[in-house]
Amino acid sequence: MTDRIVGLLQEIRPESDFAASRDFLGDGLLDSFDMIALVAALDAVFRVSIEGVDIVPQNFQNLDAIAALLRKYRVAL
Amino acid sequence: MQTNVLEYFEGGALAGQRRRTAVVDGERSYSFDEIGRFAKNCAALILERSTDINRPIAVFLPKSAAAIVADLGVLYSGNCYANLDIKSPVERLKATLGNLGAGIIVTAAPHADALRALGVPERTLLFVDAAMTSTPCYDDDLLLERLTRLIDTDPLCIIHTSGSTGIPKGVVLSHRGTIDFMDWAFARLNLDGTEIIGSLSPFYFDIYTLELYLCLAKGATLVIIPEQHAAFPVKLLEYVAAQAVNFVFWVPTIMVNIATQGLLSRFALTSLRKVFFAGEVFPTKYLNQWRKFLPHALFVNLYGPIEITVDCTYFVVDREMADDDKLPIGFPCRNSDVLILDDENRPVAGGESGELCVRGSSLALGYWNDPERTARAFVQNPLNPHYPEPIYRTGDIVYRNPHGEIMIVGRRDFQIKHLGYRIDLGEIEHAALQVAAIENACVVYDHANKIIALFFESEREPPVAETRRRLAEFLPKYMLPTAFHRVAQMPRNPNGKIDRQLLAERVAAANARTP
């Protein structure tokens, strides 16, 4: 299921290799505009509504962090 | 009479507030005394290379205290700065530097390789770090004496803005225009130096002009908001609160984002006293949420293309507005005059709409090295056949509402004729925002296939039928979009505005494939 997350990330930033990074933000893979897109895409695809307070760096650090965030919203991964 | 912007600094912060904090950059803060010394060191280094005046000097640095030192160093050397976007794509940067023809580029070691890769000769690079030492290497009297050679119509800076041809246009701002705007802003918007500015815009954007000269003239503090916080509204607001920021001048996009994420209720932004915004339309329903949580703050909508030096009209939000009211751009700033002209260059009658044109000292000097585009945008005032008087044609279509406030309708270039009707796409966008599920809307027109395409962001995919039904509550049938595209995020220009051209290309390409 992390494939779906990678797919979304790839749609936003096709040129980046998300599977290879452990730190999307530190490695410069996501900027502020990408973050807005990513949250919108996660909300839409996984039918959740991620709250503003959860939109913090540690929840978007890497694939595991995003997966953990989605689990918090009871998305079965 | 003031002839250059450095007189703000010499007679302002450097005269009375030397020890105050001028700039906060990460963990480090800099006093006005330090910024002044570093800037003058930088000027001395520039003068070792060249004693010309009024030449462009590029600054290739990330948003930092060092960039401010570089800009002021360039000014103290009697030249004009051009802040470049270090993230600019290679070809765009090459075109910009080629057009600018700067003999000196102020940069720092980590960014020099990017310039070298473009073939920039080593001798043009000047490293700002050498200036940022406490030992002065300049002669103050000599520097200030040189500045007396400047007159107020000399260039202050060059700000690049995207051109339809892909080569950025370098808008040349003058000392006069900047002083004209700043003096108005100080007086009318009660800027007195108590501001702690939460600076979010890039330094190659014109909002920085107001931020910088407010600091220099009045002793306000410029807090550089770390770039990574822009991605996370929670972090951004935490930082704003921690730094006791009381003044922001932001683009609406980020403010809308904060409102839609419901963060206004979670942060007591009690220190915020002045909230200015510019650059795009702020949908009133989100502005109202900000006003609700910050009832004592001063909200000001500023409007103006960079060609008239930062902004030329303003609207102090001083009355209740309904969520579906459009926000006015208000009234002209003092010493700027706006003309609303029809297609035949006549002033429009009453509340008719026409192109907003500006005259006054605030007009930029033109586009650097581009007489043709300068001549197209800066034209003779058609109402004055008697002597040369340039006006700037903004391309924005406006009208005056019954309050006498100027209202923006849309762009001259986004006005279309569809089924024989004259339509402003901005009106469709405004209507789309009234649909509950839609967070952000952009309408482009495919002239070839007569398709009005609505691009929008929304949490979930609203049924097209329902969207059409809601839109039809606001729009006559001939204005309804004929194609609906939900996007995860609007493509944006580097300055955060929706990239309409890209959307238009998408529509055209999609329809080209369909027989």
Nearest residue in chain B measured CA to CA from A8: B488
Assigned token pair, B443 = 């309408």
Least confident of A24-33, B189-198, B338-347: A24-33
- Strands B354-360 and B390-400, by their bridges, are antiparallel
B511 confidence band (pLDDT: 50, 70, 90): low
Query: Is A15 within a domain?
Result: no
Residues B460 and B478 placed together within one structural domain of the fold? yes
Please state, in angstroms and as integers, the Cα–Cα distance from residue B291 to each residue in B129, B211, B314, B322, following that order.
43, 22, 17, 12
DSSP B334-348: TTEEEEEE-TTS-BP
Query: Is A47 within a domain?
Result: yes
Least confident of B58-67, B72-81, B258-267: B258-267
pLDDT of B515 higher than 60: no
List, in order, residues 6 or more apart from A42 with CB less than 8 Å away.
A5, A8, A48, A50, A66, A70
The answer to whether residue B493 neighbours chain A at the CB level (below 8 Å) is no
The answer to whether the complex's ipTM is over 0.95 is: no
What are residue B316's phi and psi, to 5 degrees?
Answer: -80, 120
Nearest residue in chain A measured CA to CA from B227: A32
A41 confidence band (pLDDT: 50, 70, 90): confident
Dihedral sign, Cα of residue B68, residue B69, residue B74, residue B75: positive
Dihedral sign, Cα of residue B376, residue B377, residue B378, residue B384: positive
Mutate which of A24, A29, A32 to disrupt the B interface (most B C-beta within 10 Å)?
A32
Nearest residue in chain B measured CA to CA from A47: B460
What are residue B224's phi and psi, to 5 degrees?
Answer: -80, 115
B69 confidence band (pLDDT: 50, 70, 90): very high
B479 confidence band (pLDDT: 50, 70, 90): confident
Please state, in angstroms and as integers, the Cα–Cα distance from residue B198 to each residue in A70, A77, B81, B292, B419, following that order.
32, 40, 23, 21, 48
A52 vs B459: CB contact, 8 Å cut-off? no
**What pLDDT score was predicted for residue B422?**
57
CA distance A27 to chain B (A): 12
pLDDT tens digits, B71-86: 999 999 999 999 998 9
**Which structural domain range is residue B384 located in?**
336-410
The answer to whether residue B466 neighbours chain A at the CB level (below 8 Å) is no
All residues of chain B having their beta carbon less than 8 Å from the beta carbon of residue A49 are 459
The answer to whether residue B502 neighbours chain A at the CB level (below 8 Å) is no
Query: Is A67 within a domain?
Result: yes
A37 vs B232: CB contact, 8 Å cut-off? no
Assigned token pair, B465 = 């039928």
Q: Which of B356, B389, B410 is the last residue of a domain?
A: B410
Assigned token pair, B325 = 């009211």
Residues of B numbered 297-336 whose beta carbons fall under 8 angstroms of chain A's beta carbons: which are they? none
**What pLDDT score was predicted for residue B514?**
42
Cβ proximity of B388 and B380 under 8 Å:
yes
**What pLDDT score was predicted for residue B508?**
83
Query: Is B170 within a domain?
Result: no
What are residue B127's phi and psi, to 5 degrees?
Answer: -90, 120
CATH of the domain at B386: 2.30.38.10
B232 vs A43: CB contact, 8 Å cut-off? no
Query: Is B426 within a domain?
Result: yes
Q: For A55, which of B234, B459, B492 is closest by C-beta distance? A: B234
How many whole angstroms separate alpha carbon B506 and alpha carbon B444? 10
Assigned token pair, B4 = 């250059």
All residues of chain B having their beta carbon less than 8 Å from the beta carbon of residue A47 are 460
Residues of A with CB under 8 A from a CB of B: 8, 11-12, 25, 30-38, 40-41, 43-44, 47, 49, 51-53, 55-57
Query: Is A77 within a domain?
Result: no
3-state SS, residue B485: strand
Least confident of A6-10, B161-165, B274-278, B279-283: B161-165
Q: Regarding predicted confidence, which is higher, A67 or B281?
A: A67
CATH of the domain at B502: 3.30.300.30
All residues of chain B having their beta carbon less than 8 Å from the beta carbon of residue A35 are 231-232
3-state SS, residue B463: coil
- Number of structural domains chain A divides into: 1
B263 vs A44: CB contact, 8 Å cut-off? no
3-state SS, residue B454: strand
**What pLDDT score was predicted for residue B37?**
97
pTM for this prediction: 0.82
How many whole angstroms separate alpha carbon B291 and alpha carbon B312? 24
The answer to whether residue B228 neighbours chain A at the CB level (below 8 Å) is yes
**Which structural domain range is residue A25 located in?**
2-10+21-72
- Number of structural domains chain B divides into: 2
3-state SS, residue B176: helix
How many whole angstroms separate alpha carbon B268 and alpha carbon B284? 21
CA distance B490 to chain A (A): 8
All residues of chain B having their beta carbon less than 8 Å from the beta carbon of residue A30 are 231
Query: Is A55 within a domain?
Result: yes
Please state, in angstroms and as integers, the Cα–Cα distance from residue B109 to each residue in B116, B123, B125, B325, following that order.
11, 14, 10, 50
